[in-house]
């Protein structure tokens, strides 16, 4: 009898212990503290069974109000019952389920993800649940309250970061830098994507990729020019919500030229430049005092037509007038010394006229210089001085002078004959000498009168040439 009672009470105790253990295994616990995070980051909502129990084959369900966030049933996830807004953004820890870890990982957080989440566990008998509060807040994009200054040719860093710091390389994050309405640099899906980048910034921008995971989205701009000056915007697009920060870049003249600010002048040529048709010609233009213009814009114009344009450290002749295509160039190696002369190839008569060299962003009152180009026909020698050259200093041979020379020669010959005849007849010697003297005097008078008339006609022709319009 005593043995029977002992076995009975031992069995009751064992049954009670098993019952208490099963009851304990159904305990479910969530994080008691609210979970806070920022847009587009990832977060884990803690939930577990205590004591540990393999929950692989049980039903684990996460919901937000009436929306199904994630459901695991019969040993696998059931995405078909999930709310669309959470598709592809949720997961459980498969190894963790074997130890009773029911925690939910939620990625690419949105502001709309904020709220109260319910973690449920269901075995054969009943469902147990607990709750977690999630708060998703916006971040700020912080630029620089102070302007950033750089000299010509320098590299400069435009500072910008995210507050609070978070990984800016995460999927669905886009980082954009703009100057006015121009795209400076773009980074998306963990890579630079500069297909839409403005041409003036091509090959001159970069981000600090190894620091972007800490929210550093600063931009490095290489080889700064005066035209880069202005307001820059760093923007972060997180699931359709745009946050922006601003930075101002100021250009500073190099130290050796800083004391001459505003004293520069663009000097053309006071004398016309003359060239033959078909020749190459250099139209001189420079800055005084010498100044490095490689970072500025230089324009050459003929009337209102663009002859040549230099900007963004190179020639940019998209809008160049067709008649000058492939015929113009600057002396790039000399521009550092302020030489902005233009070389014009294969000159034609149509190229004659007034040319203007212009530096629009020069910090000076005198930004333009003029040069006059004169073109002569190829078979004309501009160095020869003649009746058709208005600058000639030689006296041209008059047609009247030619006739007069012939007349004097004829009269002289006649006088010689008279002299010979006088010698034959000695008595008429005096008569012969008198005739010769008379002929010479008559010839001199004729020469003086007609040469003066020819000179007057030449002067009239010279005045007509000088009065012709250019």
* Domain count of the fold of the chain: 4
Tell me, yes or no, whether 446 lies in a domain: yes
Kindly report which listed range (52-61, 121-130, 147-156, 378-387) carries the lowest average pLDDT score: 378-387
Q: What's the pLDDT tens digit per position in 226-274? A: 889 999 999 987 766 788 999 999 987 765 444 344 578 899 998 999 9
Q: State yes or no: pLDDT of 416 exceeds 60.
A: no
Residue 290: CATH number of its domain: 2.60.40.10
Looking at residue 405, its pLDDT comes to 58
Beta bridge partners of 283: 342
* Cβ partners under 8 Å of residue 67, min gap 6: 83, 85, 86
β pairing state of 67-73 and 305-311: unpaired
Tell me, yes or no, whether 40 lies in a domain: yes
Q: Are residues 281 and 244 in the same domain?
A: no
Tell me, yes or no, whether 340 lies in a domain: yes
Q: Are residues 125 and 180 in the same domain?
A: no
Tell me, yes or no, whether 160 lies in a domain: yes
Tell me, yes or no, whether 354 lies in a domain: yes
Q: Which two tokens stand for residue 306?
A: 């663009």
Tell me, yes or no, whether 465 lies in a domain: no
Tell me, yes or no, whether 21 lies in a domain: no
pLDDT winner (highest mean) among 117-131, 162-176, 235-249: 117-131
Kindly report which listed range (161-165, 256-260, 326-330) carries the lowest average pLDDT score: 256-260
Q: Which domain holds residue 202?
A: 140-252
* Cβ partners under 8 Å of residue 387, min gap 6: 396, 458, 461
Q: State yes or no: pLDDT of 178 exceeds 70.
A: yes
- For residues 449-465, give the mean pLDDT: 47
Q: State yes or no: pLDDT of 457 exceeds 70.
A: no
Q: What's the pLDDT tens digit per position in 80-89? A: 899 999 999 9
The Cα–Cα gap between 306 and 1 comes to 122
Q: Are residues 242 and 147 in the same domain?
A: yes
Q: State yes or no: pLDDT of 151 exceeds 90.
A: no
Looking at residue 19, its pLDDT comes to 43
Q: State yes or no: pLDDT of 298 exceeds 80.
A: yes
pTM for the structure as a whole: 0.45
Phi-psi region of 190 (alpha: psi -120 to 50; beta: other; left: phi over 0): left
Terminal CA-CA length for the chain: 142
* Cβ partners under 8 Å of residue 144, min gap 6: 158, 159, 160, 245, 246, 247, 248
Residue 344, Cβ density class (10 Å: 0-12 exposed, 13-18 middle, ≥19 buried): buried
| CA 84 remoteness from chain centre | 43
From 376, 407, 424, the end of a domain falls on 376
Q: Are residues 45 and 117 in the same domain?
A: yes
Residues in the chain: 470
């Amino acid at each position: 009898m005593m043995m029977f009672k002992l076995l009975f009470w031992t069995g009751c105790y064992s049954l009670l212990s098993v019952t208490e253990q099963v009851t304990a295994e159904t305990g479910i616990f969530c994080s008691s503290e609210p979970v806070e995070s920022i847009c587009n980051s990832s977060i884990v909502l803690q939930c577990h069974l205590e004591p540990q129990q393999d929950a692989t084959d049980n039903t684990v369900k996460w919901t937000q109000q009436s929306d199904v966030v994630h459901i695991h049933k019969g040993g696998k996830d059931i995405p078909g019952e999930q709310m669309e807004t959470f598709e592809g953004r949720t997961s459980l820890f498969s190894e963790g389920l074997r130890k009773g870890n029911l925690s939910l990982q939620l990625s690419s957080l949105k502001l709309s993800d904020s709220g109260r989440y319910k973690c449920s566990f269901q075995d054969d008998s009943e469902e147990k649940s607990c709750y977690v509060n999630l708060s998703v807040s916006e971040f700020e994009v912080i630029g620089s309250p102070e302007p950033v200054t750089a000299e010509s040719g320098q590299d400069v860093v435009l500072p910008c970061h995210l507050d609070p710091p978070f990984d800016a390389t995460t999927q669905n994050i886009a980082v954009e830098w703009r100057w006015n309405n121009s795209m400076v640099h773009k980074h998306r899906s963990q890579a630079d994507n500069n297909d839409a980048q403005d041409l003036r910034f091509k090959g001159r921008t970069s981000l600090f990729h190894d620091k972007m995971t800490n929210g550093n989205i600063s931009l490095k701009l290489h080889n700064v020019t005066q035209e880069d000056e202005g307001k820059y915007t760093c923007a972060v697009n997180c699931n359709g919500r745009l946050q922006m920060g601003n930075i101002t870049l100021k250009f500073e003249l190099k130290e050796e030229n800083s004391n001459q600010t505003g004293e520069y002048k663009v000097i053309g040529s006071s004398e016309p430049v003359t060239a033959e048709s078909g020749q190459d010609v250099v139209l001189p233009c420079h800055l005084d005092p010498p100044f490095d213009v490689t970072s500025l814009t230089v324009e050459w114009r003929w009337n209102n037509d663009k002859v040549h344009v230099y900007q963004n450290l190179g020639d940019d002749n998209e809008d160049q007038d067709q008649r000058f295509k492939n015929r113009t160039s600057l002396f790039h190696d000399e521009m550092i010394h302020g030489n902005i002369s233009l070389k014009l190839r294969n000159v034609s008569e149509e190229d004659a006229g007034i040319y203007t060299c212009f530096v629009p962003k020069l910090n000076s009152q005198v930004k333009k210089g003029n040069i006059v180009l004169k073109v002569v026909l190829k078979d004309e020698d501009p160095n020869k001085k003649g009746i058709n050259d208005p600058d000639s200093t030689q006296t041209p041979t008059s047609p009247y002078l030619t006739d007069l020379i012939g007349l004097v020669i004829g009269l002289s010959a006649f006088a010689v004959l008279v002299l010979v005849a006088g010698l034959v007849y000695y008595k008429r010697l005096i008569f012969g000498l008198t005739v010769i003297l008379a002929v010479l005097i008559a010839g001199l008078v004729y020469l003086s009168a007609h040469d003066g008339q020819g000179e007057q006609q030449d002067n009239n022709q010279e005045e007509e040439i000088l009065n012709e319009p250019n």
